[in-house]
Amino acid sequence: MPEITRLVPKEKKGLIVVITGNGKGKTTSALGIAVRACGHDMRVSIIQFMKGDLYAGEWDGIKKMDCKVELIPTGKGFCGIQGNPYPHEEHRKNAQDAIQLACQKMESGRFDILILDEINNALKLRLVDLEQVLEIIQRKPPLMHLVLTGRDAHPEIIESADTVSEINEIKHAYRKEIEPQPGIDY
Ligand code: ATP
Ligand code: MG
C-alpha cells in the first residue's frame, strides 16, 4: 500500500452541484456523494422529493452505515406517472412541506451537505416554485454544499451552480422491458 495523502483545500467553499439529464444515475450519484462525505465524517441531510411510496434500498442502507447522514423521503411518489392516484394539489402540498424542511435543515447549521433529490422534477411539475429554489441557493451558508438532482434542471438553477452534470441515456434496461432491479434501480 502506498502512503496515503489527505488533501486539504487551502480555501473551503460550499458548492452548488446539479445532477440532471434523462439517463440513469442521478440519485445514485447523490448517494455516492453521501458515502464519500461519510468517510470524511461530514454531516449530510438528504431530502427526497416525490418519493415515499416505493421502497428504495438507500432508506435502510444509510441507516446501516455508521455515519452522520440522514435521509428523509417525502411525498407520495412521482406526480403524473401512470398509476399514481394522488392529485397535483396533494403532491404540491407535500413538496411545499419538503421545501420548508429543506430550509430548516439548511438554517440549522447542523449539516455540511444538503442533498435535495428530485427537486428539479418537482420544479418542472410546478410542485415548488423557481423563486423558492433560488431562495435556497441564495441563502445557502457559504461552507455548506448543496446538491440538486432530477431531470430537466431549470436554466436559472444551472446558471447558479458551480458544477453541473448531465447524465445522458445511451441505453436503459427499461427499453428492453426489463423490470427495475433491486440494488441497481431502487
Ligand atoms: P437512479 O435512482 O437509479 O440513480 P435517476 O435518479 O438517474 O436513477 P430518475 O429519473 O430519478 O433517475 O428515475 C428513477 C428510476 O427510474 C430508477 O429506477 C431508474 O433506473 C429509472 N430510470 C432512470 N432513467 C431512466 C430512463 N431513461 N428510462 C427509464 N427508466 C429510467
Ligand atoms: Mg432520481
Residue of minimum CA distance from atom 25 in ligand 1: 24
For residue 16, what pLDDT is reported?
A: 98
Query: pLDDT at residue 67 above 90?
Result: yes
Reported as a single tens digit per residue, the pLDDT across 3-41 is: 999 999 999 999 999 999 999 999 999 999 999 999 999
Residue of minimum CA distance from atom 29 in ligand 1: 174
Most distant CA atoms of the chain, gap in Å: 57
Strand-pair partners of 117: 48
H/E element holding 150? Answer: none
User: 16-167 adopts what CATH topology?
Assistant: Rossmann fold (3.40.50)
Average pLDDT, the chain: 96
For residue 153, what pLDDT is reported?
A: 98
Query: pLDDT at residue 114 above 90?
Result: yes
Q: How confident is the model at residue 71 (pLDDT cuts 50, 70, 90)?
A: very high
CB 151 near ligand 1, within 6 Å: yes
For residue 164, what pLDDT is reported?
A: 98
Query: pLDDT at residue 47 above 90?
Result: yes
For residue 57, what pLDDT is reported?
A: 98
Residue 7 DSSP one-character state: -
Q: How confident is the model at residue 80 (pLDDT cuts 50, 70, 90)?
A: confident
Task: Please state the atom number of ligand 1 nearest to the C-alpha of residue 185.
Answer: 18
- Judged by DSSP in three states, 81 sits in coil
Residue 149 to residue 30: CA distance in whole angstroms = 7
Reported as a single tens digit per residue, the pLDDT across 156-184 is: 999 999 999 999 999 999 999 999 999 99
For residue 82, what pLDDT is reported?
A: 83
- Judged by DSSP in three states, 53 sits in coil
Task: Please state the atom number of ligand 1 nearest to the C-alpha of residue 184.
Answer: 3
Contact 34, 17 (CB under 8 A): no
Task: Please state the atom number of ligand 1 nearest to the C-alpha of residue 19.
Answer: 7
Residue 119 to residue 115: CA distance in whole angstroms = 9
CB 174 near ligand 1, within 6 Å: yes
Reported as a single tens digit per residue, the pLDDT across 120-157 is: 999 999 999 999 999 999 999 999 999 999 999 999 99
Query: pLDDT at residue 83 above 90?
Result: no
For 57-72, what is the mean pLDDT? 96
CB 185 near ligand 1, within 6 Å: yes
Residue partners of 136: CB distance under 8 A and separation at least 6: 99, 102, 103, 106, 116, 146
At 146, give phi and psi (nearest 5°). -125, 125
Q: Please give the distance, rounded to the nearest whole angstrom, from the Cα atom of residue 150 to the centre of ligand 2.
A: 6
List the domain boundaries for the chain. Answer: 16-167
